[in-house]
């Protein structure tokens, strides 16, 4: 396209400008793909750790495969809200703990859930450390971890209405503590 000064201006094509940067498959993603586990790649986190996106219905088989691969420690499970009207995310930080490992292998797994029906299988039966972490995610975001042995509020009173860390949550004007003593 020519301008008034007859200089050539090349505009990026629509395909180039809308294309997301390519993410290279890491060791864990390659192993999962070679064993038939469907997943998406996300860019590595700030420390360069592989991030894998999994559909909710495939979390349990994926978690079982990662445990069999050697990820025997659930360092952290948590959740966050992408924003009003967007997805809720349940994430899992897994580590291969072994003797004499100065830099254990790590992977991050993320499950994107619709905020209207945020349900995903519990990984409690694979990693017992998910117990209170899944309860906290349920209490703060309303994510239902199916198969969890004791999914109930952990931080908020049991009769609390709503999910306080969701970005569309409206705080009540007043909440009366009952039987506080």
pLDDT confidence of residue 21: 65
Give the closest residue to 153 by CA, choosing from 170, 136, 171: 136
CA pair distance 137, 128, nearest whole angstrom: 15
Please report the pLDDT score of residue 7 as a whole number. Answer: 44
What confidence score (pLDDT) does residue 1 get? Answer: 44
CATH number of 22-146: 3.30.460.80
Pick out the chain residues at pLDDT < 70: 1-21, 174-181
- The full set of domain ranges for the chain reads 22-146
153 SS3 class: coil
pLDDT at 18: 52
> What is the Cα–Cα distance from 95 to 58, expressed in whole angstroms?
20
| Strands 50-54 and 106-113, sheet pairing | parallel
Residue 20: what pLDDT?
58
What confidence score (pLDDT) does residue 19 get? 56
pLDDT at 12: 47
């Amino acid at each position: 396209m020519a301008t008034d000064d007859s200089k050539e201006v090349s505009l990026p094509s629509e395909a180039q400008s809308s294309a997301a940067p390519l993410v290279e498959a890491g060791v864990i993603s390659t192993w999962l793909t070679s064993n038939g586990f469907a997943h998406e790649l996300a860019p590595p986190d700030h420390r360069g750790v592989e991030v894998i996106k999994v559909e909710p219905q495939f979390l349990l088989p994926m978690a079982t495969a990662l445990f069999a691969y050697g990820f025997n420690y659930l360092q952290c499970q948590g959740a966050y809200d992408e924003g009003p009207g967007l997805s809720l995310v349940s994430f899992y930080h897994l580590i291969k703990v072994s003797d004499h490992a100065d830099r254990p292998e790590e992977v991050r797994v993320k499950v994107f859930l619709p905020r209207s029906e945020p349900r995903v299988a519990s990984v409690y039966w694979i990693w017992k450390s998910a117990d209170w972490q899944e309860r906290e995610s349920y209490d703060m975001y309303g994510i239902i971890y199916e198969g969890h042995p004791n999914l109930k509020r952990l931080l908020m009173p049991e009769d609390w209405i709503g999910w306080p860390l969701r970005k569309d949550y409206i705080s009540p004007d007043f909440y009366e503590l009952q039987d506080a003593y």
